[in-house]
Amino acid sequence: MAGYRPFVYAFNHALRALHNIDTPLRKSTDLRLLFHRNDPKLMTATHNGHVSQRKPDILFVFLDAARNAFSQGDPGSWDDHALKTAVEPPNNRFQWSDSLGTWELKREKATLPLPPDEYTAESAMEIPPEPLPSSVYETVDDLPTGGMVPESLIEVPGTPLLTNSWLIVY
């Protein structure tokens, strides 16, 4: 599916950009994570004697798992896998234990109408400006709060608040 390629490349480029950033919650590590296409490979797991089979579209895995799934122990670099082969289906199956996260990319068939071949311009409607309010607050004492403004915000009581007919609160 063509939709896997931009998703995998975008997130792997983001991971590469974030790799060496230290944050208060964690330090950068040598653990190399990447997003990898899994579709159309089937993943099978057994839990309490019950077999479960799924075919997730995209997996979030460590580099070693991607190396094993793409080819037997391919020693390619992180850039080789994340930015080149990760968009291709794996040659070997991933194991459920390899997966740190899975993504399904589904899109319904197009139901929106196609855009017109040509657009026509319509004239814009002119909107008149709104009139200024009938009461303009000229000093702190004129405010609807009854002059209840913290002293720290007022240099001198009665200081004009208007400049060019706009209320300035400071």
Provide the 8-state DSSP code for 92. Answer: S
165: pLDDT strictly greater than 90 = no
Q: What is the pLDDT of residue 35?
A: 93
Q: What is the pLDDT of residue 8?
A: 93
Boundaries of every domain in the chain: 4-103, 134-170
* Ramachandran quadrant class, 18 (left: phi over 0; alpha: psi -120 to 50; beta: rest): alpha
Residues contacting residue 15 through CB under 8 Å, at least 6 positions apart: 33, 34, 35, 82
Per-residue pLDDT band for 166 (boundaries 50, 70, 90) equals very low
Q: What is the pLDDT of residue 170?
A: 38
Q: What is the pLDDT of residue 22?
A: 73
Residue 110: C-alpha distances to residues 3, 49, 114, 115 (Å): 15, 41, 9, 12
State which amino acid sits at residue 143: L
63: pLDDT strictly greater than 60 = yes
Per-residue pLDDT band for 159 (boundaries 50, 70, 90) equals low
111: pLDDT strictly greater than 80 = no
pLDDT digits (tens, 9 = 90+) for 26-49: 666 666 899 999 999 998 888 888
Q: What is the mean pLDDT of the chain?
A: 77
53: pLDDT strictly greater than 80 = yes
